[in-house]
Structure 1
Amino acid sequence: MLNRLSDTIYYLSNQEDKERPTLGLVCGDRYSLIIDAGNSPRHAKDFLIEIEKLNVPPVKYVVITHAHWDHFLGMNEFDATIIVNHQTNELIKEWQRLSYDDRSLQKYVTTNQISAMCMEIIQTDMPNRDRFKLKSPDVIFENTLTIDLGNKVCILERIKSTHTDDSTIIYIPDEKVVFLGDCAYGTTTNSLFHYKQSLLLPMMKDIQKYDAEMFLLGHESICDLNEMNIYWEELTTASHVVKSISLENAIESFKLENKRNPNDNELFFIQAFVNDHIIQSQ
């Protein structure tokens, strides 16, 4: 079932047990726009079934927030203009060259091209896929793109983020809503989960320049401004004390600067920033 954020914005909540991220729907007077295409054709079809229950203008655009499989593998199901930034397009090209039969998928898992979870979802949700080929996006933009759905403007901006370099965020000014995809999360490199420390403040600046009160995230669904500010505060406080690969030094520095022990979130973030130093030192 779709969640209604306003008269013109809806979203399908993330389902972590199925590796399904949040999908968004923005409706103008003439057209509707979808944010992210889902992790499989089945996910996309489930979303479209829910949209059909609403009396909304036809879907003309689908924006992919970044080139991680769970956000775009359903895009063949949409009879709409697929929009991506330039780098997302280059990364999707790699998936267009893949074969999706069981033998090929197993080989990709073995060579770390895809995850075991990705293979499992594809095998479950795409039973007839031996000849499956991912279609190409229709519109590729560089840095920003503005789309008018009919008295409903959507601003797309590519930003570098702590999650991936090809992140696109979507801001709806009259609603003060921004879809962040996964950009505010960390990432995993060489089996270490980390936040790209050098990109944290630039990313926050890119996001906070928009006058937003509600934030849709790929794997949390929705946060209000207060919740996002707490998240940013915990991230920046943790980042500030990490200056080396020493977790002990970072925790001690946190205690000295803040006159308290880090909470569970801050401790998690401190470890993630320490991991980033470890990765940068390799």
Structure 2
Amino acid sequence: MLNKLSESNYYLSNQNDKERPTLGLVCGDKYSLVIDGGNSVQHANDFLREIEKLDVPPIKYLVITHAHWDHFLGMNEYKATIIVNSLTNEIMNNWRSYSYDDHSLEEYKNAKKMSSLCVDIIKNEIPDRDSFQLNYPDIIFEESLQLDLGNKVCILERIRSTHTEDSTVVYIPDERTIFLGDSVYGTTTNSLFHFKQSQLLPMIEDIQKYDALHFILGHESICDLDEMDTYWKDLITTSKAVKSTSLERALESFEIDNKRKPIGDELFFLEAFVNDQILKSQL
């Protein structure tokens, strides 16, 4: 079932147990835009069946927010103009070179090119895998792109991110809504989950320049402005406490600066920023 933000904005909620991210739909007077293609053919078709229940203009565009498999493996199903930034396109070219038969998938899994979960979902939710190949994009942009769906402007921008270097956000000015994909999350490198500390403040700056009240996230659906402000505050506060590879020192610094011990997500964030320092020390 689609969640309705307005007469023009909808989203299909994430399903973390199936590694399905949030998918977005923005409708103008003439055309509709889909945000992210889904993690499989089945995910995409589940979304399309929900869209068919609405009286909305035909889907003309599909934008991929970044080149992680759960956001694009279903993209062929939309028969739409596919839009990516140039770095997303470069990364996705690797996936276009892959074969999707059982033997190849097992080789990719063993070589850690695909996760076990990714392989399982491909096997279960992508039919005709022997002939499966990702479509090429129709529009490749560098920094930003503006689309008019018919009295509905959408701004696409590649932003700085703690998650990936190729993160694209989609902002709808008259709705004060921004689709963030996974841009505000951390990532995993060499089995360590971390937030890219150097990108934190630049990312927040890039996102806060948009006058948004509704924030659609890739794996948590929707947040309001107060929730995002709390998220930014927690990230900034914990990041300031981390200056080395020592979690103990980070905890001490946090307690000195804030006159209390970290609570809730703060400890998780502290550990993630310490992991980032560890990864930097290994370079």
Counterpart residue type for residue 159 of structure 1:
I
**Paired residue for 2:262?**
262
**Paired residue for 1:63?**
63
Kindly state the Cα deviation for residue 40 of structure 1 after the two structures are TM-superposed: 0.5
**Paired residue for 1:36?**
36
Report matched runs for 1:6-45 at 5 Å. Answer: 6-45=6-45
Q: Distance in 2 between matches of 1:126 and 1:195?
A: 32
**Paired residue for 1:183?**
183
| Unaligned segments of structure 1, at least 5 residues | none
**Paired residue for 1:92?**
92
**Paired residue for 1:234?**
234
Q: Distance in 2 between matches of 1:133 and 1:27?
A: 28
Task: State, as a whole percentage, how many aligned pairs show the same letter.
Answer: 67
Q: Distance in 2 between matches of 1:263 and 1:152?
A: 42
Counterpart residue type for residue 253 of structure 2:
S
Counterpart residue type for residue 120 of structure 1:
D
Counterpart residue type for residue 220 of structure 2:
E
Q: Distance in 1 between matches of 2:124 and 2:189?
A: 27
Kindly state the Cα deviation for residue 78 of structure 1 after the two structures are TM-superposed: 1.0
Kindly state the Cα deviation for residue 160 of structure 1 after the two structures are TM-superposed: 2.2
Q: Distance in 1 between matches of 2:204 and 2:42?
A: 34
Kindly state the Cα deviation for residue 240 of structure 1 after the two structures are TM-superposed: 0.4
Deviation above 2 Å: which 4+ runs of structure 1? none
RMSD: 0.5
**Paired residue for 2:205?**
205
**Paired residue for 1:274?**
274
Counterpart residue type for residue 175 of structure 2:
E
**Paired residue for 1:53?**
53
**Paired residue for 2:252?**
252
Provide TM-score, normalisation by structure 2: 0.99
| Unaligned segments of structure 2, at least 5 residues | none
Kindly state the Cα deviation for residue 245 of structure 1 after the two structures are TM-superposed: 0.3
Q: Distance in 2 between matches of 1:79 and 1:99?
A: 22
Kindly state the Cα deviation for residue 85 of structure 1 after the two structures are TM-superposed: 0.1
**Paired residue for 2:127?**
127
Kindly state the Cα deviation for residue 71 of structure 1 after the two structures are TM-superposed: 0.2
Q: Distance in 2 between matches of 1:171 and 1:63?
A: 12
Kindly state the Cα deviation for residue 66 of structure 1 after the two structures are TM-superposed: 0.2
Q: Distance in 2 between matches of 1:158 and 1:88?
A: 10
Counterpart residue type for residue 41 of structure 1:
V
Q: Distance in 2 between matches of 1:62 and 1:148?
A: 13
Q: Distance in 1 between matches of 2:194 and 2:162?
A: 8
**Paired residue for 1:162?**
162
Number of aligned residues: 282
**Offset from partner CA, 1:167-192 (integer Å, 9 cap, x none):** 00000000000000000000000000
